[in-house]
Amino acid sequence: MRLLTAAEMREIEMAAMESGSMSGIELMERAGAGVVDAILEEWPELRHGRRRAVVLCGPGNNGGDGFVVARLLSGCRWDVEVRLLGDPESVTGDARANLDRWLRIDAIQPLDASYDGPVCGEGAADIVVDALFGIGLSRPLEGLETLAFNLEDFVDLSPDGLRPVGNFKWPIPKVVALDVPSSLCADSGKVFPHASGAASRFRAHLTVTFHKLKRGHVLGVGPELCGRVRIVDIGLADTDAGLPTLGPPARGAVAKVEGHKYDHGHAFVLSGGVGKGGAARMAARAALRVGAGLVTLGCEPAALTENAAQLNAIMLRAVTDATDLEQVLADMRITALGLGPGLGLTDHEAALLRVMLDAGRPTVLDADALSLIARDDDLRAQVHKRCVLTPHRGEFARLFPDISERLDAPAGEGATYSEIDAARDAASEIGATVLLKGPATVIATPTGRVAINAAVYGHAVPWLATAGAGDVLSGLIVGLLARDLSPFDAACDAAWLHAEAAHRFGAGLIAEDLPDLIPGVLASLGA
Ligand SMILES: NC(=O)C1=CN([C@@H]2O[C@H](COP(=O)(O)OP(=O)(O)OC[C@H]3O[C@@H](n4cnc5c(N)ncnc54)[C@H](O)[C@@H]3O)[C@@H](O)[C@H]2O)[C@@H](O)CC1
Ligand SMILES: Nc1ncnc2c1ncn2[C@@H]1O[C@H](COP(=O)(O)OP(=O)(O)O)[C@@H](O)[C@H]1O
Ligand SMILES: [K+]
């Protein structure tokens, strides 16, 4: 799956039109026809009976798609109302041609600030089509806050698809967005605000997009606003434009074919103190499950007994202080390090972190290790290019406050700034690989390589939002680093394996389940 920017989509369209293989009007017709097919596939019951649609059209080509949808639904004997935002005279090009075709069927109604949107109740629409803005949305919305609020209400408050009005319960109109819901920035997954500051957003039950997903469908609040997504083939050539989402690791990267345990590396995971070892134990187990030949957990002497009671295949090593840790790491057969989960935030842990960074070995920095680095410039300066940092958004904000502020800003005029830009800038700033966690997890290197694992829509894994899931991810990366994968490859493969394991388990998942799901995932890769 490849994610396009709006500019890449336009380039592909332009190339098709300039080559003469496809005209703009043909593309628009295919887009509209694909939307009608998608609606009827999504809700087959709408094939029967006399149905009603309200089509909300904007001033550009997104509105043009809307006029096509209106005409085609009308051809299916639907009762269709078209509302146009702005002056009909300002509609040009292919959209104009399709507006004129619609006007030969029926009139249009204005869509101005006084229009609240379709109602729910007697005579209500079955479908509301949001064809206001697509990839051309470029500035805050004006005069649309009540309409957006009312449509969002349809999407938000309809667990059973019905709403009581008077003495009856009426079906709630289904909202279908063309290309993107009209608040969504197609490049960043951020929301374009209303000029008034109102908080309503255009959302949809179903978003029908064209040719390929856009970045905004998977980043930020994209999945939340889009509902379900269908992609319509409008006959554009398949190119290698766009950012590919991660797929399964190659068998060669994860298979264990031959060799001694030391040929598969030795991972060392540093644990927190007494009563704080669970997170590091889960990380260590994940490192072992993903194939590190040996895994050792380091802990303070007082925590040895409790760790020993919980661990078998994972070795234990008491670590008294920084000097002792230096001695542990003098063993060059230790090929990767991990620390942070449950570690602690005192000077003692800061000293241990300093030694781990000094070792110059491939190292995963997670959780408390990230917080220690965020508040100590000397430690931060020791982060090196063999490190992988795995922040969630809170940790990211502490580590990279300026980048985080840009990421949190709403979509605005000009270029928009997404998790992809943020991870790339953060990696360049700190000089190490950064994995920014979320449903869409972005991995970036200091040299500008970037990848995205999109656990959204059919691959959504909301059950990963559980305490300790991130600790397991860090362990998977440590294990793959120990096996000599590069920081980028280890982070990418671990992110995919992690989400895939969660996807297979589904509801009820807790972090402790995750390491033991890895063998099944590896087996399916033929590893
Ligand atoms: N170009 C093509 O051949 C195709 C385009 N397609 C459709 O065309 C869309 C892109 O069309 P456009 O480039 O015309 O862009 P849009 O229709 O998304 O929006 C651009 C229009 O909205 C105005 N606008 C932007 N932000 C606004 C705001 N906040 N308030 C008021 N007006 C605002 C712009 O001035 C411009 O008139 C796609 O999303 C897709 O739906 C599809 O039909 C596939 C083929
Ligand atoms: N809704 C979600 N969809 C997909 N992945 C999620 C979701 N919520 C959390 N995750 C993943 O779960 C992990 C949580 O990590 P983190 O926030 O560090 O939690 P913890 O510190 O409890 O381990 C990350 O890998 C993140 O990408
Ligand atoms: K739209």
Residue 465 has pLDDT above 70, yes or no: yes
Residue 158 has pLDDT above 70, yes or no: no
Here the tokens at position 117 are 């949107």
Same domain assignment for residues 333 and 230 = no
Considering every ligand atom shown, identify the ligand nearest to the alpha carbon of residue 29 and give its number: 1
- What confidence score (pLDDT) does residue 352 get? 98
Considering every ligand atom shown, identify the ligand nearest to the alpha carbon of residue 232 and give its number: 1
Q: Does some domain include residue 250? A: no
- What confidence score (pLDDT) does residue 257 get? 80
Same domain assignment for residues 38 and 120 = yes
Site to substitute for ligand 1 among 11, 61, 135, most atoms within 8 A of C-beta: 61
Q: Does some domain include residue 256? A: no
**433-449 average pLDDT score:** 97
- What confidence score (pLDDT) does residue 81 get? 97
CATH number at residue 56: 3.40.50.10260
Q: Does some domain include residue 516? A: yes
**491-498 average pLDDT score:** 98
**Cα distance between residue 39 and residue 41, in whole Å:** 5
| 439 labeled binding residue | yes
3-state secondary structure of 408: helix
Among 41-50, 244-253, 490-499, the minimum mean pLDDT is found in 244-253
Which residue bears the tokens 């029926």?
106
Q: Does some domain include residue 103? A: yes
**29-46 average pLDDT score:** 97
Same domain assignment for residues 229 and 133 = yes
Residue 157 has pLDDT above 80, yes or no: no
If one compares 160 and 299, the residue with the highest pLDDT of the two is 299
**Cα distance between residue 295 and residue 478, in whole Å:** 10
| 477 labeled binding residue | no
Same domain assignment for residues 433 and 474 = yes
Same domain assignment for residues 67 and 216 = yes
Residue 308 has pLDDT above 70, yes or no: yes
Q: For ligand 1, which residues put their CB under 6 angstroms from it?
A: 13, 24, 27-28, 31, 58-63, 65, 133-142, 178-179, 210, 234
Q: pLDDT tens-digit profile of 328-349?
A: 999 999 999 999 999 999 999 9
**Cα distance between residue 40 and residue 269, in whole Å:** 53
Interstrand relation of 2-4 and 213-214 (parallel, antiparallel or unpaired) = parallel
- What confidence score (pLDDT) does residue 253 get? 80
**71-90 average pLDDT score:** 96
Same domain assignment for residues 311 and 175 = no
Q: Does some domain include residue 496? A: yes
Phi, psi dihedral angles at 48 (to 5 degrees)? -115, 150
Same domain assignment for residues 473 and 425 = yes
- Domain C-terminal end among 213, 244, 275: 244
- How many domains are there within the chain? 2
**Neighbouring residues of the ion ligand 3, judged by CB less than 5 Å:** 130, 177-178, 182
Q: Which residues contact 355 (CB under 8 A, 6 or more apart)?
A: 322, 325, 326, 329
Please tell me if the CB atom of residue 439 comes closer than 6 angstroms to any atom of ligand 2: yes
Q: pLDDT tens-digit profile of 255-288?
A: 888 888 888 999 999 999 999 999 999 999 999 9
CA of 417 to the centre of ligand 1 (A): 20
- What confidence score (pLDDT) does residue 117 get? 85
If one compares 260 and 24, the residue with the highest pLDDT of the two is 24
Q: Does some domain include residue 208? A: yes
CA of 214 to the centre of ligand 1 (A): 14
Here the tokens at position 148 are 């957006």
- Domain C-terminal end among 185, 212, 244: 244
Averaged pLDDT score across all residues of the chain:
95
- What confidence score (pLDDT) does residue 361 get? 98
pLDDT over 90 percentage in the chain: 88
What is the full DSSP assignment across 31-42? HHHHHHHHHHHH
Vertex 213 angle, CA 154 and 401, to 5°? 85
- What confidence score (pLDDT) does residue 278 get? 96
**Ligand 2: residue whose CA is nearest its atom 18:** 470
Sheet order of strands, 2-4 included = 213-214, 2-4, 243-244
Same domain assignment for residues 215 and 332 = no
Residue 2 has pLDDT above 80, yes or no: yes
Calculate the alpha carbon distances from 257 to 261, 465, 517, 527 in Å. Answer: 12, 34, 20, 8
- Domain C-terminal end among 217, 244, 271: 244
Q: Does some domain include residue 488? A: yes
Same domain assignment for residues 227 and 345 = no
Q: Does some domain include residue 283? A: yes
| 63 labeled binding residue | yes
CA of 206 to the centre of ligand 2 (A): 26
Q: pLDDT tens-digit profile of 181-240?
A: 999 999 999 999 999 999 999 999 999 999 999 999 999 999 999 999 999 999 999 999
Q: Is 313 exposed, middle or buried (0-12, 13-18, 19+ CB in 10 A)?
A: exposed
Q: pLDDT tens-digit profile of 389-429?
A: 999 999 999 999 999 999 999 998 767 899 999 999 999 99
**Would the ipTM clear 0.90, i.e. be above it?**
yes
* Domain range enclosing 378: 261-524
From first CA to last CA, the distance across the chain in angstroms is: 23
Same domain assignment for residues 240 and 281 = no
Same domain assignment for residues 60 and 6 = yes
CATH number at residue 289: 3.40.1190.20
DSSP 81: E
- What confidence score (pLDDT) does residue 42 get? 96
Same domain assignment for residues 514 and 443 = yes
- What confidence score (pLDDT) does residue 190 get? 96
